[in-house]
Amino acid sequence: MSDVFKGSFTQQEPIPEAGIDAAVAVMRHGRLHRYNTVAGETAQTVLLEQEFAASVGAKYCLAVASGGYAMATALRAVGVKAGDRVLTNAFTLAPVPGAIAAVGAVPVFVGVTPQLVLDLDDLAAKADQATVLLLSHMRGHICDMERLMHICARAGVTMIEDCAHTMGAAWKGKPSGTWGTVGCYSCQTYKHINSGEGGLLITDDAQIAARAIMYSGSYMLYESHQAGPPKETFETIRFETPNISGRMDNLRAAILRPQLADLPTQCARWNERYLAVENDVAGTVGLTVIQRPAEESFVGSSIQFLLPDWTGEAVQQAVARCAARGVELKWFGGAEPVGFTSRYDSWRYVNAPAMPKSDQVLAGIIDMRVPLTFSLEDCAQIGRIIREEVSRVYQASR
């Protein structure tokens, strides 16, 4: 027990100096609101939208207050109404079904596979129950997007992507968020670019982009959205779309722009750390690592593994023993939500039928953040501690 990790699983890297300088400049002139500009000035928020759209190859981009707001806005913009049913993941985080509930719609949960992606067989079986799928690339795991799009096209299902954990990731080289009709991203502190809170929405559909801009609280200032559709698109939409204000401000955008420029480098650094942990825990008796398909370009800002067929008591013991040595693991199999970990039967505003196959997977999911403040040596130490403690508990329980 002498080998104890001393680092923090919640400490992020500092904001880049270029972001600090840009933020100070915004604070010095005081024009934080995205529509408060002087002659000849392009707002930081507009620049961020243009740069993000270019980075993923999208026509339109809207910067908003949070990833959750982006999802709720996307649902409204594609036409989801109160009482509608929306397909979504059984394995995700609470803001995803929360976005569906926020518009008065009803989540219909689709199962999870042992690879921690959406169960496409279950999706095919349930595709006739809704006309919209809010797909969560939960914890950065991307399913077979070509098969998923085929299922959606055959059933007439519009797909929205929650890319909170996959900014910078891709399937067969096509960026996450560009497969569906709308892509939604988070800029919350623990995501791939950090403004504390914030979100981005992309689409190639001019009508959807225009509705999203009006929902976000543009009033009649939509022409200043240089990453938005032409003004003619708003001709009718501007009168029939309510203002549900959720704009991003120029201060957050200023902080984010240098981080977006650095994203490819940061993604490579995350993957180095992810693989350092994975290499140490791979082969641990009683532990299963998640095999990533060759088609997936992932960003390893967190790592998951399975303790399959373990009792809840044994899982909790392994988590506790790792915690005693400074390694913070989160378990998605608990009967009650703890911190950010919850599951489809935790969200009691939804009357969801039991999903035994998914329950079996959820019962074994262990999750761990991999912040960039960890060195590769830190990651090796963490992997070693996990391997030792999981092995001890597994052998004692058999």
How far is it, in rounded angstroms, from Cα 134 to Cα 105?
12
Q: How would residue 394 be classed by pLDDT, with cut points 50, 70 and 90?
A: very high
> In the structure, what pLDDT confidence band is assigned to residue 79 with cuts at 50, 70 and 90?
very high
8 A C-beta contact, residue 290 and residue 227: no
pLDDT band at 337 (very low <50, low <70, confident <90, very high): confident
- E strands, 292-342, are 296-297, 302-306, 330-331
Q: How many percent of the chain have pLDDT more than 90?
A: 96
Residue 251's pLDDT is what? 98
Strands (E), 143-287: 158-162, 170-171, 174-175, 182-186, 199-203
Kindly report the CATH class assigned to 263-397: alpha beta
Residue 1 has pLDDT above 80, yes or no: no
Q: What is the pLDDT of residues 32-51, one digit of tens each?
A: 999 999 999 999 999 999 99
Q: How much is the pLDDT for 151?
A: 98
Instruction: Look over the chain and give the mean of its residue pLDDT values, rounded to a whole number.
Output: 97
pLDDT of residue 334: 87
Q: What is the pLDDT at residue 226?
A: 98
Residues 6+ apart with CB under 8 A from 242: 214, 215
pLDDT digits (tens, 9 = 90+) for 377-391: 999 999 999 999 999
> Which of the four pLDDT bands, split at 50, 70 and 90, describes residue 398?
confident
* 75-91 average pLDDT score: 98
Structure tokens at 148: 């998923």
| Rg from Cα positions in the chain | 21
Q: What is the pLDDT, as a whole number, of residue 355? A: 96
Query: Quick one: average pLDDT of 203-225?
Result: 98
pLDDT tens for each residue of 14-28: 999 999 999 999 999
Q: Where are the domains of the chain?
A: 17-261, 263-397
Average confidence (pLDDT) over 281-300: 97
What is residue 121's predicted lDDT score, i.e. its pLDDT?
Answer: 98
pTM check: above 0.95: yes
Is the pLDDT score of 128 beyond 70? Answer: yes
Cα-based angle 274, 167, 297 (whole degrees, multiple of 5): 55
> Which tokens go with 335?
């009967």
**Cα angle value 320/325/327 (rounded, 5°):** 75
In terms of Cβ atoms closer than 10 Å to its own Cβ (0-12, 13-18, 19+), residue 117 is buried
Confidence band of 236 (pLDDT split at 50, 70, 90): very high
In one-letter notation, the amino acid at residue 183 is G
pLDDT at 95 over 60: yes
User: For the segment 185-203, what is each residue's pLDDT rounded down to a tens digit?
Assistant: 999 999 999 999 999 999 9
The answer to whether residue 211 scores a pLDDT higher than 60 is: yes
Residue 153 has pLDDT above 70, yes or no: yes
**Fold for domain 17-261?**
Aspartate Aminotransferase; domain 2 (3.40.640)
pLDDT number for residue 360: 96
Does the pLDDT of residue 120 top 80, yes or no? yes
